[in-house]
Amino acid sequence: MADSTSRLSYRLSPSQTRNLLEDALSGSDWGPERRTGRVQEHRSARHVCFKQSWQTIIDHHSALRVGFKRDDQQQPCQEIHLPVELPVIVEDLQQIKPSEREAFIEEWLEHDRKKNFDLSAPPLMRITVIRFADNSVTWVWTFHHILMDGRSFLLVLEDFFASYESSCAKREVALPERKHFAEFISWHQSWLESHRQSAGSFWRELFCEG
């Protein structure tokens, strides 16, 4: 999943193809294709370290820098971009009373969900930091589900917290190298080709018998 390759293009996985189709049919980017992760901290996040750490993550994981387009054969593909700056938006809501905070956040999240992503223009994710009067911080990570599945989501979070901890402690950030997603796509394409004939025979026999 991680490297710094620029402008590498490769095919979509089956789940990404389904996401892209659902996105086109629905006419918007909202639906099961987007997730909002929310983490609340009862202390002020170190904003510079926080922002730098998220940028480190998007620099490290090329799969987070992809945009989607069609190639010369009009087949959907994903293309890695470099550089890509991750937007970190700060919302100063110190005027919101503690008793109104939860309702306000739920309303804010609903509004955030309606903000579409342009699938051709990475990054297909954003970070929002919401600051309150008692020095507590809620940050929201919104991304299009075409970028990653649940397991990848946890790996990215793991890398972020490691980067943030190192940055706050002024230590060098050493993130683990992870497999590039393009390697999986290449393997999957090869697997499909090698099994195409046997799969075709299986389905022909199945339907003939029926």
pLDDT for the residue numbered 194: 67
pLDDT for the residue numbered 133: 78
Query: Structure pTM?
Result: 0.78
The answer to the question of residue 188 being in a domain is no
The answer to the question of residue 36 being in a domain is yes
Cβ neighbourhood burial of 62 (10 Å; 0-12, 13-18, 19+)? buried
The answer to the question of residue 191 being in a domain is no
The answer to the question of residue 57 being in a domain is yes
Pure H helices in the chain: 14-26, 47-60, 98-113, 150-168, 181-209
The domain in which residue 85 lies consists of: 9-180
Question: In terms of DSSP bridges, do strands 88-92 and 125-131 run parallel, antiparallel, or are they unpaired?
Answer: parallel
Read off the CATH number of the domain in which 66 is found. 3.30.559.10
Look at the chain and report how many structural domains it folds into: 1
Instruction: Specify whether the CB–CB gap between 34 and 143 falls below 8 A.
Output: yes
The answer to the question of residue 4 being in a domain is no
The answer to the question of residue 58 being in a domain is yes
The answer to the question of residue 48 being in a domain is yes
pLDDT along the chain (210 residues), means of 10: 60 84 64 52 75 95 91 86 92 87 88 86 92 82 88 91 93 87 71 67 71
The answer to the question of residue 197 being in a domain is no
pLDDT for the residue numbered 4: 45
